[in-house]
Amino acid sequence: MRWKLSHRGKEGEMNSFYGVKLPTAFMLGTANYPSPAILDAAFRQSQASVATVSVRREAAGARAGEGFWRLIRELGVQVLPNTAGCHTASEAVTTAHMARELFDTNWIKLEVIGHSDSLQPDPFGLVEAATILCRDGFKVFPYTTEDLVLADRLLDAGCEVLMPWGAPIGTGLGLINPYGLRSLRAQYPHVPMVIDAGLGLPSQAAQAMEMGFDAVLLNTAVAKAGDPVAMACAFANAIKAGQLAKTADPMEPRDMAEPSTPLIGKAFLQ
């Protein structure tokens, strides 16, 4: 039960992820931007602390990877390689090892996809791969669902962070199961959690932070916006707003109206 030793801070403090305290709660993907210059500008506006990256086949003499890696290094942010596109545990494990060597980090965003249309994680392959990678010394960030049993298995496997989806990758639908996400957050209050995937609007990121999640990870909502740089800034502000609202202890909602202006002293008029 290693998860009981997680790195969650005191109420209202930014959590650490495997002992790393990030300056902001924004994790941003690096794919699908109109150009490297716009990727660079969006990242700087976002103040994101983490950049997700991947590994892909390199053609001999192409040097495409070198230019990209130089751009990311100059951003000065924490790098989180992924295993995107992997459909089996064994494929994900091999990809993670290649990523560790290329990016010189033990952090891995573990994706084992189980359904081609929804890109829903394969829970069985995910636990299998997480078990192997934790044993191999990786700091695993599993891309998961809001499923409580799966969360339990991943924590037992050695994961100290969970990354439940808001909605299927690239949909922009926001938090489609708020009840499930609230349950997950409440069930494991001391486990750092990142809402990963499915966000389309800054208000949805604010909602995730207001629910008590520790960070959000997104890509398409910024990269595919008409103005990615402006959208990166909008998400940064929304994440800060949601985080601050959570620490400010929001009021409890109620069914019946209650006047905010005191009735005492109101003029008696007929």
Q: List, by residue number, the catalytic residues.
A: 109
Give the residue, chosen from 17, 103, 138, 188, that forms a contact with other proteins under the rule CB under 8 A: 103
Give the residue, chosen from 8, 18, 31, 203, that forms a contact with other proteins under the rule CB under 8 A: 31
- Can residue 6 be called a binding residue for other proteins (CB under 8 A)? no
| 121-125-129-131 Cα dihedral, nearest 10 degrees | 110
Residue 71 vs 245, nearer CB to other proteins: 71
Cα distances (angstroms) measured from residue 201 to each of 108, 124, 243: 26, 31, 16
Contact status, residue 15 vs residue 192, Cβ threshold 8 Å: yes
Give the residue, chosen from 14, 72, 201, 241, that forms a contact with other proteins under the rule CB under 8 A: 72
- Can residue 74 be called a binding residue for other proteins (CB under 8 A)? no
Return the bridge partners of 79, or none: 51
CA 146 to centroid of chain Cα atoms: 13
- Can residue 60 be called a binding residue for other proteins (CB under 8 A)? yes
Task: Please tell me the distance from the alpha carbon of residue 139 to that of residue 159, in angstroms, as a whole number.
Answer: 7
3-state secondary structure of 166: coil
Restricting to residues 78-97, name those near other proteins by CB under 8 A: 81-82, 84, 90-91, 94, 97
Q: How crowded is residue 219: how many other Cβ atoms within 10 Å of its Cβ?
A: 20
Give the residue, chosen from 20, 64, 186, 244, that forms a contact with other proteins under the rule CB under 8 A: 64
Task: Please tell me the distance from the alpha carbon of residue 217 to that of residue 114, in angstroms, as a whole number.
Answer: 20
- Can residue 68 be called a binding residue for other proteins (CB under 8 A)? yes
Q: How far apart are CB 237 and other proteins at their closest, in Å? A: 21
- Can residue 63 be called a binding residue for other proteins (CB under 8 A)? yes
Give the residue, chosen from 89, 151, 157, 169, that forms a contact with other proteins under the rule CB under 8 A: 169
Contact status, residue 55 vs residue 98, Cβ threshold 8 Å: yes
- Can residue 32 be called a binding residue for other proteins (CB under 8 A)? yes
Contact status, residue 22 vs residue 175, Cβ threshold 8 Å: no
DSSP E strands: which ranges in 103-174? 107-110, 139-144, 163-164
Q: How far apart are CB 10 and other proteins at their closest, in Å? A: 32
Q: How far apart are CB 61 and other proteins at their closest, in Å? A: 5
- Give the binding site for other proteins (CB under 8 A): 29-33, 39, 52-66, 68-69, 72, 81-82, 84, 90-91, 94, 97-99, 101-103, 169, 197, 219-220
